[in-house]
Amino acid sequence: MPADPSAKLSVRVLRKWELVCGLLLIVTGFIMPLAVNVKTIPVMDYFRQAMHEDRYALIYAAITLVIMNIVRALPHYIGTYWVADSLRFEYKGRRIAPLNGAIIIVLLILTYSLIDAVHGIHYDFGLPAILMTGVIILYDRLQYNYVSLTKRTLFITFSLMALQFLDIMPAAGALPVGRGELSRDIKRAAEVLELETDLNSASLVGLLGLLLLAALIFILLRDENKLREASELKEANARIQMEAFQLEVQNRTLKETQYLVHDLKSPLSVVRTLEGVLRLQNDPEPDSVQTETYDRMEKAMDQMSMRISQLLTMDQKAVFTVEELLHDVMAQISIESYAPHVRAETDIPEAALYANQGLLSRALVNLIVNAVQAVPEDREPQVTVSAQRKDRHVILAVTDNGKGVSPELRETVWTHGVSGKGSSGLGLAFVKTAAERFGGHVEIESEPDHGTTIAVWIPEEEITDDE
């Protein structure tokens, strides 16, 4: 039995830019001790001042140490989260979240080890680091993907800032926290200077205050994610309902078309029979006027029968010329009030197309209707239907002098439901579908307040002498 490809463990990069930025942040965290250290941050100045002049300067030294640790640790913690967030491990099509957690632990320990080996600065992987790692892993598993990365990172930032205050809290001495040399010196000095209560109070205020902010941010992110998720589900349901409605309309239209085809073909069959009876009764000479008349009648009925069949089977194709197509389009709109404002022009009337003439002419009529509707009421419509040849395609274009289409809407105009006149908005979507059905595509060019050109590209059919 062949192996199931889905049974293999795989990793996907969800956002390449996030992965790259995360790795750059980790590298930044690795080189951060070169710029942020006791030589550039006045921790020791406050510490010496506390020992010789003002003992309360020890509080400043402790808080400055926390700030220094936050600045140095923040890049690689955030970078680690971004790397884990950008990757998705899958087995049999299901996400393996523990591997993301393992990536976080490995990257943090590796960064700590490299900093110790290169800079000689020992980062203790104590309780704050363990708690922070747990927070990141738990946060990663929650998958708040509907919230922006910036907002999610804000929660990580405040959580890290809060936990760093454990390192300078004398009351937490029994816990595996604050085991760095400078942290121990500050806590011992607090004991000697009888500032343990003050340092505990300052640490507790910083810890609880930042934890409260982190908790508030987490609640806001959770609620925003739920709202966005619900909105996404609502939009998905709306799309499903729209598709169901369109399918219902298509089914109803198909049934009505079937009835129409039957009603049209019945009298056509009668006319064809009568034409055959008249031909037999009169038995005209082969080259007579009567024979030519009967032949023309038969040809016209054949064309009408083909057109009627095309109404029922949209995929049915036939070869026809650009001249025949444009004549069909102009005939369909001839009874409309806007017909005098529409003109057709082409220098390739003999160019052949292999498609469903009824469907393609209907697409062009839709474009003409949209073009007329796009012209403001204080302006006389000028709509041109043209055809030209380019790159083995026939370009069927409809140009108007309307209000134009804004750049941000030029992609969405082909979407079901987009309309500027309060209708169902299926016209342009129908045009796009019709073009693609016959191997073509659509393009739009528009200048605000100067008009729009929508072009339908259809492959040109090469006609041989035999054909």
pTM score of the predicted model: 0.54
Average pLDDT of every residue of the chain: 83
- Reported as a pLDDT band with limits 50, 70 and 90, residue 223 is very high
* Intervals of CATH 3.30.565.10 along the chain: 315-467
pLDDT at 393 over 50: yes
Asked if CATH classification 3.30.565.10 holds for the domain at 315-467, the reply, yes or no, is yes
pLDDT digits (tens, 9 = 90+) for 318-367: 899 999 999 989 988 988 899 999 999 999 999 999 998 888 988 899 89
pLDDT digits (tens, 9 = 90+) for 265-289: 677 777 778 777 777 777 777 778 7
DSSP 382-431: -EEEEEEEETTEEEEEEE--S----GGGTTGGGSTT--SSSS---HHHHH
Beta bridge pairs of residue 344:
385
pLDDT digits (tens, 9 = 90+) for 154-164: 988 998 899 88
pLDDT digits (tens, 9 = 90+) for 44-84: 999 999 988 899 999 999 999 999 999 998 999 999 989 98
Let me know: does 162 contact 216? Beta carbons within 8 Å.
Answer: no
pLDDT at 23 over 90: yes
Q: Span 194-219, mean pLDDT?
A: 93
pLDDT digits (tens, 9 = 90+) for 316-325: 788 999 999 9
For 402, which DSSP code? S
Let me know: does 79 contact 23? Beta carbons within 8 Å.
Answer: yes
Most confident range (mean pLDDT) of 77-91, 196-210, 298-312, 314-328 is 196-210
Element (H, E) at 10: strand 9-13
